[in-house]
Structure 1
Amino acid sequence: MSEQKNQAQKDLWNTFAGERWTRRQVEIDAMLAPFTHALMAAAKLEHAAPMHVLDVGCGSGETSLMIADLGHRVIGVDISAPLLGLARQRADGRDGVSFEEADASDAVFDEPFDLLISRFGVMFFDDPHAAFTHMAQFLKPGGRVVFVCWRPPPENEWVTMPMQVLAQVTAPPAPLPPDAPSPFAFANPERVRTILETAGLTDVSFAPVDAPMSMGSAPGAAMAADFVMEVGPAALAIAQLSPEDAAKVRDKMEIAIAPRLKDDLLSLGGAIWVVQARKP
């Protein structure tokens, strides 16, 4: 494996993003809960015969632990050592689940899988065609792929609102090329269909799901601003601002959040694809 392969994402998730997502794990799992539910419903693991499952980009272990609790064997893989450390703590010796620090695009496994599942973990490969072709080798014939990925940023209020506030203070980050590794690299279903079919997968389908996402658990605009400024596409850009500009963003963020509060808490809209495919 080239040392440079997916290196930018490895660096990000072992430093800035990994630290923040580890510290905010409870709130982030709550934020993503509607889409975790959609993912698990599509996977159809409840009441199913025991399966061997690969959880790609498992992060702090939420989905892997849910799968194990349903009686299946699951290997969670991720490139983030901080998140995997938390996942292992949460597992606390639970049967049927293990975690590996590995890049799923070239990891090798001893047994084939019945299911490859991912909650927002497959959009970051430098070469997604090669990554899915590699991962598909480890699916049994008839094995399934089920993952969730974000639809375009304009459909996701949790992205547009913070970016609009940031733009009031400084130029927002330049948009990445649509095919660059990012949370929104799989927003175009035709691109994703081509990636999956090139990997030899069939029966590719996309189901849109929209849901409100909780932005932190602490009440009030100030605490919601803390969360929004730490998690999401604007977080890195905000962290790189001068203290004076960061303070301006905070003031404007609280002003933008205040009228959106309901019962003193903030929710913002999210929009995803639930993607399914099968190995013939």
Structure 2
Amino acid sequence: MAAADLTQAEYWNGEAGRRWASHQATFDGVFAPLTERLFAGADLHPGETVLDIGCGAGATTLRAAEAVGPSGRVTAVDVSAPLLAATAERVAARPAGGGAIALVEADAQTHAFARGAFDRVISRFGIMFFDESVAAFTNLHAALRPGGRLAILCWRTLAENAWIAHPLDLVRSLVPEPAPTPPDAPGPFRFAEPERLSGILAVAGFRDIAFTPVDEVLVLGRSDSGEARAAAEAAAAFSLDLGPASRLVRDQPPEIRDQAFARVQADFEARARDGAVRLAAACWLVTAVR
């Protein structure tokens, strides 16, 4: 079954979820600047209750638990059992002093959260994949207490995200052109244009909806020795094994995968500076109030 034929739960409980879970440290490092921007916008306080949507391997969950402290509580939700297992391992190994953490394997669109149970809903790139966005955000709205706050990150356009677009452009001529994604289908750029998500949030009952552009430079690969080639190898591995371009090359014959890696590595080696390969990322920080 092709990836395009899988439901989100099937996709994230299969090879993709296991791969992301095993490389959680790499993802945490690459996305660290964006995580910082999310938490600056979320403005969490000690004692608060937080709902983390699409928590993945737990980086945002652990950060939220630290922010709310021992008097607070974080509920982390994801459809992926492999990613939640990785989160559970990290929760068990964390230092004492953070808030209580509950892990829930569920679809946040339909899960029966207690009404008004949360002060904050946060998500780092976990809200673009619902089957029915209005139903999902209506459910999250009900889970917030009156006056509770939503803070989420979602990607802006592909053209603004060189960390995705550039590797895709490099390998596109080697692989079949993927079928276009319908405008409102689940996918990373579903809410690149703010009007779409703004309307959904308003229908779901949110107010004071705001979109703040977030522009950061991501380090896709780094070499401790400062060598451009080693940094380029790490960055190419991230882009073609873990990043969005991986979907284009993963099922190709070995010779095509080798050509793609060589092409991306050579390009990255030429652009490496100070032992690192850096490319731009562009998101929306979306905040709203119940």
**TM-score category, normalised to shorter length:** over 0.9
* Alignment RMSD: 1.6
Shift of 1:108: 1.4
Shift of 1:172: 3.3
Q: Partners of 2:207 and 2:198 in 1: how far apart?
A: 9
Between 51-60 and 255-264, the greater mean CA deviation after superposition: 255-264
Shift of 1:7: 6.1
Q: What is residue 18 of structure 1 aligned with on the other side?
A: 17
How do 1:212-251 and structure 2 match up within 5 A? 212-218=217-223, 219-251=230-262
Shift of 1:42: 0.7
Is 1:162 the counterpart of 2:167 in the alignment? Answer: yes
1:200-226 Cα offsets, whole Å, 9 max, x none, are 001100000111112144533223211
- Give the TM-score taking structure 2 as reference length: 0.90
Q: Partners of 1:158 and 1:224 in 2: how far apart?
A: 10
Q: What is residue 188 of structure 1 aligned with on the other side?
A: 193
Letter in 2 for 1:269: A
Q: What is residue 3 of structure 1 aligned with on the other side?
A: none
Confirm or deny: 8 A CA contact 2:221 2:232 kept in the other structure.
no
Is 1:57 the counterpart of 2:58 in the alignment? Answer: no
Q: Partners of 1:176 and 1:151 in 2: how far apart?
A: 16
1:130-185 Cα offsets, whole Å, 9 max, x none, are 11111211111101110000001010001111111111312332331121101111
Identity between Structure 1 and Structure 2 (%): 40
1:34-91 Cα offsets, whole Å, 9 max, x none, are 111111011111xx24111100000111111111112131000000111100100000
Shift of 1:264: 2.6
Q: Partners of 1:173 and 1:190 in 2: how far apart?
A: 26
Tell me which of 92, 99, 110 is aligned to 1:106: 110
Q: Partners of 1:224 and 1:172 in 2: how far apart?
A: 23
Tell me which of 272, 276, 279 is aligned to 2:283: 272
Letter in 1 for 2:64: I
1:99-141 Cα offsets, whole Å, 9 max, x none, are 1111101111246111111011000001101111112111111
Between 79-88 and 105-114, the greater mean CA deviation after superposition: 105-114
Q: Partners of 2:19 and 2:279 in 1: how far apart?
A: 20
How do 1:124-203 and structure 2 match up within 5 A? 124-203=129-208
SS in 1 for 2:130: coil
Confirm or deny: 8 A CA contact 1:19 1:82 kept in the other structure.
yes
Between 21-30 and 142-151, the greater mean CA deviation after superposition: 21-30
Confirm or deny: 8 A CA contact 1:208 1:273 kept in the other structure.
yes
- Relative distance call for 1:31 and 1:254 in structure 2 (3 A) is same
Q: Partners of 1:247 and 1:60 in 2: how far apart?
A: 29
1:195-249 Cα offsets, whole Å, 9 max, x none, are 1001000110000011111214453322321111012221122101111211111
Letter in 2 for 1:14: N
- Relative distance call for 1:251 and 1:136 in structure 2 (3 A) is same
Confirm or deny: 8 A CA contact 1:148 1:275 kept in the other structure.
yes
Q: Partners of 1:273 and 1:38 in 2: how far apart?
A: 10
Is 1:259 the counterpart of 2:256 in the alignment? Answer: no
- Relative distance call for 1:197 and 1:66 in structure 2 (3 A) is same
Confirm or deny: 8 A CA contact 1:212 1:267 kept in the other structure.
yes
- Give the TM-score taking structure 1 as reference length: 0.93
Confirm or deny: 8 A CA contact 2:79 2:105 kept in the other structure.
yes
Letter in 1 for 2:86: L
SS in 2 for 1:212: strand
Q: Partners of 1:272 and 1:168 in 2: how far apart?
A: 27
Confirm or deny: 8 A CA contact 2:220 2:234 kept in the other structure.
no
Q: Partners of 2:288 and 2:258 in 1: how far apart?
A: 46
Q: What is residue 96 of structure 1 aligned with on the other side?
A: 100
Letter in 2 for 1:123: M
Letter in 1 for 2:50: V
Q: Partners of 1:107 and 1:205 in 2: how far apart?
A: 26
Which structure 2 residue ranges, 5 or more long, are not aligned? 224-229
Q: Partners of 1:163 and 1:86 in 2: how far apart?
A: 29
